[in-house]
Structure 1
Amino acid sequence: MLCRRTVHTNYKGAIFLENVLVLGYSSRNIACSATKAGYNVYAIDAFCDMDLKENTVACQSLLTDESIDIKNIDKKTILELIDNFDVYPDAVVLGSGFEELDLGDLSCKILNNDPVTMKQVSDKSFLAKELESLGILHPRSGNVEEADEIGYPLMVKPKCAGGGRLNRIAHNEDDLNAIMEEIPELDPTLTSGDIMVQEFLSGFPASVSLIADGSRAVPIAANEQLIGVPWLSGLPFAYCGNITPYRTPYTQQMYEISEKIASEFGLIGSNGVDFLLTDTGPVVIEVNARLQGSLDTVEMATGFNLFDLHVQSFDGILPEDIPDICQYAIRAVLYADKAVTVDGSFYEMIRAESIADIPAPGYQALPDDPVASILAAGTTREDVMEKALNITYRIRKLP
């Protein structure tokens, strides 16, 4: 099928934007998309990777000193960082980790779902109850005290944390008690009340990327999710990237479910719905009501600029139809398998590779910390997987 490519420029419409601020724990993909769409992009980010700096007018780190816990950064600190830029943004886009931040009192546009909606869809316990009322399949979920009622095995996870790094399986009560001790040790900001249990289901992880305007939604692509891939991460449920497209008999059903969710919650902009494809059909796992980690692969596979579509949706403008797929694309997130310090040999090696999220010189990654993302495109899924595997192998060989 031929790919319909469109030329994207700085969208004006009813929303006039020139200077855009992207704020997120890791915002490289959003910032790069915004730059390609023609905006002057500023970023506040935890990593300030080299390719983020190269694709923004200016970038500031959330971690202004080593004593700061990123989860405890308050609104005052964010406002001070915004004031440090030489221009005031026309719009702010909130990425992962800051979706619920309420910046409604700023004198610029906030191009996100409102904080109340974000808090609701991000709370896995609340979402479970809402999906049940809508008749949408979702794993039985509840508080830790409801573990026996739901039944083992159980997935134990933080209610609002993402990335899957802290997800664990409990096969019995002893497992659950051990996990309840382990998770707060790994993340001291979490208490027992922040943890939930969920019916454990087997299946294939997938997602749908869609653009919504508050009442309508248009699916953009179905994506295969790479979760706990052994050659990328030692963590069994860590998010390891995406492959777009995901060709499955369930694609149309996933699209319809995602559209229903977007309509019921009044979502706007770029949103994602995560699924598990089981023997009984698609089961919704969670909703990411923001620009997602699959942005790279969706853009590579469709030729669309998601940031451009995101901005237009706030004017009520949606794509006319689901875009054609041009090619397969992969984003593979590589985690450290040992303590790693990024040095000159790393940069020498990646010159000829398609690498994103390139860490700054001296970046020290402990085991299971992210190192970089591998991007590749090709004519088949096997093609892009092979390319990502080969690049991973070459990076792993570095001393």
Structure 2
Amino acid sequence: MERLLIVGANTRPVAEAAYDLGFEVYSASYYCPVDFDFYHERRCILKQGPLRSSGRFHERFRSFQLSDLAGDFLDEVDGIIVLSGGFPEDFPPRKIIGNKRTRRIENKYTLYKRLRRRFKVPVTYKLDDMEEAWEIQRQEPEKRFLIKPLWGSGGFGVSFLSNVREVSRGSFILQEFIDGLHLSASVLSTGRDAITVLTSRQLIDTSIGVWEGNFVYVGNIVPAPYPEIKEIGEDVIRSLSLLGSNGVDMVLSSRGVYVIEVNPRIQGTFECAQLSLGVNMLSAHISACEGELIDEPLRKRYAMKRIVYAPFRCQVGDLNFLRVYDIPCRDSIIEAGEPVATLLDSHENLNILRGNVRRSFGKVIGTLTPIG
């Protein structure tokens, strides 16, 4: 296999790993960062330019756009990696490297029904009427509930029922809120055997601009020193017969470990795993899909990822400095609550790492010019 197509909302990290492995890289993505140089050919949905608004991802993006964008590549490539934002069902199954069907996993209620008999999961309801949700809350006043979209990732649209003011349209999820640490296990699987290669602490922010009150994912710190989630992650992935690199999101509470969601694809911790473990995680994913698991790697460093969201509508300055990735076009306009860039770093000392990322965060915010 020589030519690899990578499809998703943001393909830069995996494309770079593929390039390092010697693949001829084709990419179809929503975002088109200026620091994305590792490809043979790419196509992007988002077109940025000076004084041009990037708009809002959730208003502009639909997953079918990726298959349309990649259409001309399909006969040219030998394999396809589908990342967040895409569905492998939209591409030729014989070329998919990873899970060939994921909709049954990414539908939160279908996943709940599959897991509830074997794992500790929050009580979850699929509803079509907000009045039903409020009635359940009245019947169970001792619990707090979250409203979640039936589909989606990143925590967008996830908020406390008590904060919801608008009537939902269509089906949605009402889920018991579990208070605790938000953790994740990155698991490699051959479909039968599985190994957790990394655990992480998820960073959640409920104060992101227009998403205020939503449980928005903004990054990870790896590794997370909670070995009890490793075996649970492996058991979940084996029970679902998933293949390659997959993620299991959990909450460690006073009542135990609850399984929240499963990401049946390469996860957002991809670059943190590579920085922390010194392993090309795309190579590990492909090997697992071919039936071979790598030995459990030892942590070499702590690693941290932090997504910077625009605190206001702004014009972007020069972001070409240390630790900053997924850089938008200079002088382009980013709407409030939309991602500006990604911060990545690693260090042997966790406190120094946190300090480095915090300073870089402030530096990025300092380059943003508020505009009306």
TM-score (norm 2): 0.87
Per-residue CA deviations over 1:61-81 (Å, capped at 9, x if unaligned) read 135899994216357624535
2:229 maps to 1:254: yes
Q: Pick one of 315, 320, 323 that aligns with 2:297.
A: 323
Q: What secondary structure sits across from 2:147 in the alignment?
A: strand
* Aligned match of 2:51: none
* Aligned match of 1:346: 318
2:44 maps to 1:61: yes
The change in CA–CA distance for 1:392 and 1:69 in structure 2 (over 3 A counts) is closer
* Aligned match of 1:93: 81
Q: Pick one of 49, 57, 70 that aligns with 2:33.
A: 49
The change in CA–CA distance for 1:392 and 1:290 in structure 2 (over 3 A counts) is same
* Aligned match of 2:121: 138
Aligned length: 351
2:152 maps to 1:161: yes
After superposing the two structures, state which structure 1 stretch, 89-98 or 57-66, moved more. 57-66
2:20 maps to 1:24: no
Which residue type is aligned with residue 219 of structure 1? T
Q: Pick one of 287, 290, 294 that aligns with 2:265.
A: 290
**2: distance between equivalents of 1:305 and 1:268?**
17
Q: Pick one of 95, 98, 109 that aligns with 1:112.
A: 98
CA contact (8 A) 1:46 1:61 kept: yes
1:272-311 paired onto structure 2 within 5 Å: 272-311=247-286
Q: What secondary structure sits across from 1:133 in the alignment?
A: coil
**2: distance between equivalents of 1:79 and 1:364?**
27
Q: What secondary structure sits across from 1:290 in the alignment?
A: coil
**2: distance between equivalents of 1:142 and 1:122?**
16
CA contact (8 A) 2:28 2:66 kept: no
* Aligned match of 2:204: 227
The change in CA–CA distance for 1:72 and 1:103 in structure 2 (over 3 A counts) is closer
**2: distance between equivalents of 1:209 and 1:306?**
10
Q: Pick one of 188, 191, 205 that aligns with 1:211.
A: 188
1:339-378 paired onto structure 2 within 5 Å: 339-342=313-316, 345-347=317-319, 350-351=320-321, 353-378=322-347
Which residue type is aligned with residue 245 of structure 2? S
Q: Pick one of 359, 363, 366 that aligns with 1:397.
A: 366
**1: distance between equivalents of 2:329 and 2:89?**
27
CA contact (8 A) 1:227 1:236 kept: no
The change in CA–CA distance for 1:101 and 1:50 in structure 2 (over 3 A counts) is farther
Query: 5+ residue gaps in structure 2?
Result: 49-53
**2: distance between equivalents of 1:327 and 1:220?**
14
Superposed displacement of residue 96, structure 1:
0.5
Superposed displacement of residue 157, structure 1:
0.9
Calculate the aligned-residue CA RMSD, in Å: 2.5
Which residue type is aligned with residue 81 of structure 2? V
The change in CA–CA distance for 1:133 and 1:149 in structure 2 (over 3 A counts) is same
Q: What secondary structure sits across from 1:330 in the alignment?
A: strand
Per-residue CA deviations over 1:275-326 (Å, capped at 9, x if unaligned) read 1111122111100010000001111000011100111112101013x21000
**2: distance between equivalents of 1:35 and 1:229?**
36
Which residue type is aligned with residue 327 of structure 1? R
Superposed displacement of residue 341, structure 1:
2.2
Q: What secondary structure sits across from 2:198 in the alignment?
A: strand
2:181 maps to 1:197: no
CA contact (8 A) 2:313 2:333 kept: yes
CA contact (8 A) 1:270 1:291 kept: yes
Which residue type is aligned with residue 180 of structure 1? V
Superposed displacement of residue 254, structure 1:
1.2
Query: 5+ residue gaps in structure 1?
Result: 1-16, 182-190
The change in CA–CA distance for 1:391 and 1:125 in structure 2 (over 3 A counts) is same
Q: Pick one of 303, 311, 335 that aligns with 1:337.
A: 311
Per-residue CA deviations over 1:42-71 (Å, capped at 9, x if unaligned) read 11111111222x111221013589999421
CA contact (8 A) 2:144 2:177 kept: yes
Per-residue CA deviations over 1:232-259 (Å, capped at 9, x if unaligned) read 98564111011111113xx2x2111111
**1: distance between equivalents of 2:364 and 2:65?**
37
TM-score (norm 1): 0.82
Per-residue CA deviations over 1:93-150 (Å, capped at 9, x if unaligned) read 0010113433136xx62112122xx11111111111111111x111110123553446
* Aligned match of 1:187: none
* Aligned match of 1:383: 352
Q: What secondary structure sits across from 2:31 in the alignment?
A: coil
